[in-house]
């Protein structure tokens, strides 16, 4: 948050502030997990979804990297390759 920003980032106060922000994020995540559990999701199911999202993101990143390299080789933009591979710009 802006109130905690310190240019050098190493002051004791900045570190305290960062710890407090992390505690708040942790609490928010715990509350979100509790909400999902109350809606009938299991921890195993949530962990599986998270794992699948990580895998999807890794595959997507690899695809983007390959498209970027191909675009450089062809001397075009990545955006210009999307129609050739039936990709949407939002992909």
Per residue in 42-84, pLDDT tens? 888 888 989 999 999 999 999 999 999 999 999 999 999 999 9
Question: Whose CA is closest to 47, among 57, 61, 36, 58?
Answer: 36
Per residue in 4-49, pLDDT tens? 555 555 688 888 899 999 999 999 999 998 998 899 888 888 889 8
CA-CA distance, 49 to 10, in Å (whole number)? 36
């Amino acid at each position: 948050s802006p109130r905690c920003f310190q240019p050098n980032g190493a002051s004791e106060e900045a570190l305290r502030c960062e710890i407090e922000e992390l505690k708040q994020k942790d609490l928010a995540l715990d509350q979100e997990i509790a909400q999902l559990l109350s809606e009938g999701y299991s921890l195993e199911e949530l962990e599986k979804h998270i794992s699948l999202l990580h895998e999807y993101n890794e595959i997507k990143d690899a695809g983007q990297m390959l498209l970027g390299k191909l675009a450089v080789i062809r001397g075009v933009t990545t955006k210009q390759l999307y129609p050739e591979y039936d990709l949407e710009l939002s992909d």
